């Protein structure tokens, strides 16, 4: 058997006295796909940051343990060194420059250059960019991934799925790569997109590139990984080869207890089900990659409505349009009131809230505390947690703190306390803060896009349960957009399927798989609708 390309030996890491990695050992051979799984905050990203020489590690006191690359002991102190060695990484948070084009991003700091008169005298740095060749390379990388998007578009405003693919394209475009690290690459992808990605991963591995892959979708692990390392609270609690692994086993090891499958509890009816809380008429939303062409939809008070459909057909655009994040036209009536479109503030103040699918893009104030992040929108939009004395608003800190404490407990946010700044949370725990912020508004109607994206199996259940609880105990109407049909079917009262920017039909959650399949493929009318 060939020898490992990378070996991490006895890695320990402390963040401000908090031990987040304890004697971790991982090694990967060329051509191997190695999955790293664990709960939110288990230390997966931290381990990868160490491997990639990220500045956060060195600015917080470094780490102990040894790293061997290709059999040699190495000391990687900057991303540049890592890259020079042939390590590529797709980070959990985006590393794309919004003002640059897709091509420029893919070729970032690896631009193809050509000589000109000046560069012959003054040297390499004065070379001009060979945009045409760069464009071709970018096109090739995008084609490998099966992403059909114009490579000269600027990255700003692209849907998250596309951004993720651009990041991946950037890594596979590197020619000297020997080890690729993917930190939750599929978290923001739909199932279909993830499928494309997994194929690309297999192809890459077959060329001899070693792949380290972090994900919370355990069935993906089963599909592509050769070996699996399971982390819990910074410790390796299991190493499995694929043959001996199963989703249940991994989940149990990760969490340290058995996980129940998400199941809908018997739902109490909450009265006036027939009243419409939201009426959407002829909504058009200009969201690149997720265009809504003409959707009319009625939402009943107190229901959980699912919005499903294939990627790129516009299901994501609906919530974004109603909440005013992307330019839209049409009519939206909420509780008999017309909502001003293209005006997020209006939508918020009328009692709607939104957990966006793009939680990295419109996400958090990273330098602020958890409690402030959770409470600020509610303070600004609704004047919650504020007391007005002599014309000046005072924040009721103790109220905010108590509220934050409660939510931290409810959502199982792993942190040192409500005052911790959000930059120091793990990616999944940051996502939970986004959900917490929307819930703090106590909206009458909550839009949630991809609620369990990037969240570990244990926390997934917590989030779904919380949504159910909000719905049943507080009568909150919830509209969930998700690319996981199973998730929708487990909690929704009705599921609307969007096809080609239009509403294809509405199905009950217990409808046949074939009905769902047909509708998603545009087979209108063949499937039975619920009234």
Partner 1 sequence: MKNAEIKTQQKRMQFMPDIKKGLIRNIVPVVFAVLCIIGACIAQARPLFLLSSVTIRMARNLLLVFSLIIPVVTGLGLNFGIVLGAMAAQIALVAVTHWEITGISGFIVTALLSVPLSIFFGWLTGRILNRAKGNEMITSMMLGFFANGLYQLLFLFVLGGIIPMVNKTIMLPSGIGIKNTVALRGLKYALDNVIKIEYDDLIIPIFTFIVIAVMALAIKFLLQTKLGQELRCVGQDMNIAEASGIDVDKMRITAVILSTILAAWGQLIHLQNIGILQTYGSHEQVGLFAVASILIGGATVTKATIGQAILGTFLFHSLFIISPMAGQKLVGEPQVGEYFRAFVAYGVIGLSLGLHAWQKQQAARNKFEE
Ligand X SMILES: Nc1ncnc2c1ncn2[C@@H]1O[C@H](COP(=O)(O)OP(=O)(O)OP(=O)(O)O)[C@@H](O)[C@H]1O
Query: Which positions lie near partner 1, rule CB under 8 A?
Result: 52, 54-55, 78-80, 83-84, 91, 95-100, 104, 108-109, 111, 113, 118-119, 124-129, 150, 152-154, 156-157, 286, 288, 323, 325-327, 342, 344-345, 348, 354, 356, 362-363, 365, 376-377, 380-381
* 365 binds, options ligand X, partner 1, Mg ion, none, Cβ within 5 to 8 A by partner type: partner 1
C-alpha gyration radius of the chain: 24
Burial of residue 178, with CB atoms counted within 10 A of its CB: 0-12 exposed, 13-18 middle, 19 or more buried: middle
Nearer to partner 1, 158 or 225 (CB): 158
Distances (CA, A) of 380 to 90, 272, 384, 441, 447: 35, 32, 8, 10, 19
Residue 278 in contact with residue 476, Cβ under 8 Å? no
CB of 531 to ligand X, least distance (A): 42
* 20 binds, options ligand X, partner 1, Mg ion, none, Cβ within 5 to 8 A by partner type: ligand X
Q: Which of 177, 164, 180 is nearest to 48 (CA)?
A: 180
Give the span between the Cα atoms of 10 and 270, in whole angstroms: 55
CB of 361 to ligand X, least distance (A): 17
| Site pattern 388..427 for Mg ion (x: CB under 5 A) | --------------------------------------xx
* 345 binds, options ligand X, partner 1, Mg ion, none, Cβ within 5 to 8 A by partner type: partner 1
Residue 501 interacting with Mg ion (CB under 5 A):
no
For residue 469 the two structure tokens come to: 């609880």
| Site pattern 72..101 for Mg ion (x: CB under 5 A) | --------------------x---------
CB of 234 to ligand X, least distance (A): 7
Distances (CA, A) of 448 to 366, 397, 439, 498, 506: 21, 28, 10, 16, 18
Residue 170 in contact with residue 141, Cβ under 8 Å? yes
* 41 binds, options partner 1, Mg ion, ligand X, none, Cβ within 5 to 8 A by partner type: ligand X
The residues near 77 (Cβ < 8 Å, ≥ 6 apart) are: 53, 58
Beta strands 328-334 and 337-338: pairing type? antiparallel
Nearer to partner 1, 212 or 485 (CB): 212
Q: Which of 355, 354, 361 is nearest to 339 (CA)?
A: 354
The residues near 75 (Cβ < 8 Å, ≥ 6 apart) are: 67
Q: Single out the residue of 7, 32, 45, 225 in contact with Mg ion (rule: CB under 5 A).
A: 45
3-state secondary structure of 180: strand
* Partner residues linked to 387 by β-bridges: 394
Residue 185 interacting with Mg ion (CB under 5 A):
no
> Taking CA 83 as the corner, what is the angle to CA 80 and CA 84, rounded to the nearest 5 degrees?
85
The residues near 208 (Cβ < 8 Å, ≥ 6 apart) are: 30, 31
Instruction: Sheet containing 445-449: give its strands across.
Output: 337-338, 328-334, 276-285, 292-300, 502-507, 494-499, 304-309, 477-481, 445-449, 352-355
Which of these segments, 42-50, 72-80, 116-124, 382-390, binds Mg ion (CB under 5 A)? 42-50
CB of 20 to ligand X, least distance (A): 4
User: Could you give phi then psi for residue 439, rounded to 5 degrees?
Assistant: -65, -35
In 227-320, beta strands by DSSP E:
227-232, 235-241, 276-285, 292-300, 304-309
CB of 13 to ligand X, least distance (A): 8
Q: Which of 311, 350, 295 is nearest to 449 (CA)?
A: 311
CB of 56 to Mg ion, least distance (A): 12
Nearer to ligand X, 40 or 320 (CB): 40
Nearer to ligand X, 327 or 417 (CB): 417
Nearer to ligand X, 250 or 425 (CB): 425
Residue 7 interacting with Mg ion (CB under 5 A):
no
Nearer to ligand X, 273 or 366 (CB): 366
* Cβ-based neighbour number of residue 445 at 10 Å: 22
Interface residues toward ligand X, by CB under 6 A: 15-16, 20, 38, 40-46, 56, 60, 92, 414, 423-429
CB of 95 to partner 1, least distance (A): 5
Distances (CA, A) of 479 to 117, 293, 452: 60, 19, 14
Nearer to ligand X, 199 or 424 (CB): 424
HSE value, Cβ hemisphere, 13 Å, CA-based, for 160:
24
Nearer to partner 1, 3 or 340 (CB): 340
Residue 46 interacting with Mg ion (CB under 5 A):
no
CB of 359 to partner 1, least distance (A): 10
CB of 330 to ligand X, least distance (A): 37
* 377 binds, options partner 1, Mg ion, ligand X, none, Cβ within 5 to 8 A by partner type: partner 1
Give the span between the Cα atoms of 431 and 428, in whole angstroms: 5
Residue 215 interacting with Mg ion (CB under 5 A):
no
* 104 binds, options partner 1, Mg ion, ligand X, none, Cβ within 5 to 8 A by partner type: partner 1
Nearer to Mg ion, 183 or 515 (CB): 183
CB of 42 to ligand X, least distance (A): 4
* 381 binds, options Mg ion, ligand X, partner 1, none, Cβ within 5 to 8 A by partner type: partner 1
Residues forming the site for Mg ion (CB under 5 A)? 45, 92, 426-427
């Amino acid at each position: 058997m060939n020898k490992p390309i990378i070996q991490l030996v006895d890695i320990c890491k402390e963040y401000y006295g908090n031990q987040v990695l304890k004697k971790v050992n991982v090694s990967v051979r060329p051509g191997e796909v190695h999955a790293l799984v664990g709960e939110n905050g288990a230390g997966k990203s931290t381990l990868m940051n160490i491997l990639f020489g990220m500045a956060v590690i060195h600015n917080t006191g470094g780490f102990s343990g040894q790293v061997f690359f290709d059999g040699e002991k190495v000391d990687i102190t900057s991303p540049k060194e890592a890259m020079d060695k042939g390590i590529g990484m797709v980070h959990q948070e985006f590393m794309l420059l919004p003002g640059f084009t897709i091509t420029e991003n893919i070729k970032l700091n690896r631009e193809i250059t050509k000589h000109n008169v000046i560069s012959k005298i003054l040297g390499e740095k004065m070379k001009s960019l060979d945009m045409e060749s760069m464009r071709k390379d970018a096109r090739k990388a995008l084609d490998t991934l099966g992403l059909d998007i114009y490579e000269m578009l600027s990255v700003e405003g692209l849907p998250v799925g596309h951004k993720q693919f651009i990041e991946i394209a950037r890594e596979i475009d590197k020619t000297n790569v020997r080890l690729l690290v993917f930190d939750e690459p599929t978290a923001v992808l739909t199932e279909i997109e993830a499928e494309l990605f997994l194929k690309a991963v297999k192809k890459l591995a077959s060329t001899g590139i070693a792949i380290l892959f972090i994900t919370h979708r355990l069935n993906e692990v089963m599909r592509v990984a050769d070996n699996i390392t399971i982390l819990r609270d910074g410790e390796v609690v299991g190493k499995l080869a694929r043959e001996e692994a199963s989703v249940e086993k991994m989940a149990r090891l990760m969490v340290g207890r058995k996980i129940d499958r998400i199941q809908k509890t018997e739902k109490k009816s909450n009265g006036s089900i027939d009243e419409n809380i939201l009426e959407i008429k002829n909504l058009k939303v200009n969201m690149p990659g997720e265009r809504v062409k003409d959707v009319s939809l009625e939402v009943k008070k107190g229901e959980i409505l699912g919005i499903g459909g294939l990627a790129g057909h516009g299901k994501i655009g609906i919530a974004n349009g109603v909440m005013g994040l992307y330019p839209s036209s049409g009519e939206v009536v909420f509780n008999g009131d017309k909502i001003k479109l293209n005006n997020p503030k209006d939508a918020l103040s009328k009692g709607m809230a939104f957990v966006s699918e793009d939680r990295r893009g419109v996400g958090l104030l990273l330098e602020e505390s958890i409690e402030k992040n959770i409470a600020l929108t509610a303070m600004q939009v609704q004047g919650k947690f504020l007391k007005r004395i002599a014309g000046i608003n005072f924040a009721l800190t103790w109220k905010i703190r108590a509220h934050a404490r409660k939510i931290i407990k409810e959502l199982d946010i792993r942190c040192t306390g409500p005052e911790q700044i959000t930059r120091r949370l793990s990616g999944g725990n940051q996502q939970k803060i986004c959900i917490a912020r929307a819930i703090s508004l106590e909206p009458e109607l909550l839009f949630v896009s991809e609620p369990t994206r990037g969240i570990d199996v244990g926390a997934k259940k917590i989030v779904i349960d919380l949504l159910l609880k909000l719905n049943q105990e507080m009568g909150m109407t919830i509209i969930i957009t998700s690319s996981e049909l199973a998730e929708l079917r487990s909690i929704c009262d009705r599921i609307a399927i969007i096809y080609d920017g239009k509403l294809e039909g509405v199905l009950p959650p217990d409808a046949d798989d074939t009905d769902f399949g047909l509708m998603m493929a545009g087979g209108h009318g063949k499937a039975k609708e619920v009234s």
